[in-house]
Amino acid sequence: EAQVTQNPRYLITVTGKKLTVTCSQNMNHEYMSWYRQDPGLGLRQIYYSMNVEVTDKGDVPEGYKVSRKEKRNFPLILESPSPNQTSLYFCASGRAGDTQYFGPGTRLTVL
């Protein structure tokens, strides 16, 4: 089944404790992206990747890191999480210039 998977689905952590949210897709898509979704603000793009070893900042990259060492994986790293990073995170993938397919989301709470 073609899909985008994210892990974990739910995470509660404390300020400053490094964490990684994994994202994997099995559709051989070049393009992958991370978004955060907050009430009243919709989906905002954090980082995106056009292909392996190519990543770029989206609209809200501060406090996040990403890497794209393999085509199928695009982990989101929070080196020192803060409470304002409490949010619902979505990973997405797609062909360049085409629609994206979203994962199920990761709900992160930073205390």
Partner 1 sequence: GESVGLHLPTLSVQEGDNSIINCAYSNSASDYFIWYKQESGKGPQFIIDIRSNMDKRQGQRVTVLLNKTVKHLSLQIAATQPGDSAVYFCAENTITGNQFYFGTGTSLTVIP
Interface with partner 1 by CB under 8 A: which residues? Answer: 4, 31, 33, 35, 40-45, 48, 50, 56, 58-59, 90, 92, 96-97, 99-105
What's the CA gap between 13 and 20, in Å, rounded?
11
CB of 43 to partner 1, least distance (A): 4
Looking at beta carbons only, is 38 or 79 nearer to partner 1?
38
Looking at beta carbons only, is 46 or 110 nearer to partner 1?
46
The number of beta carbons lying within 10 Å of the beta carbon of residue 97 is 7
DSSP per residue over 79-107, as a string? Answer: SS--GGG-EEEEEEEE-TTS-EEE---EE
CB of 31 to partner 1, least distance (A): 8
Tokens of 7: 């892990």
Distances (CA, A) of 45 to 12, 29, 48: 22, 18, 8
Looking at beta carbons only, is 78 or 92 nearer to partner 1?
92
CB of 111 to partner 1, least distance (A): 22
Looking at beta carbons only, is 71 or 107 nearer to partner 1?
107
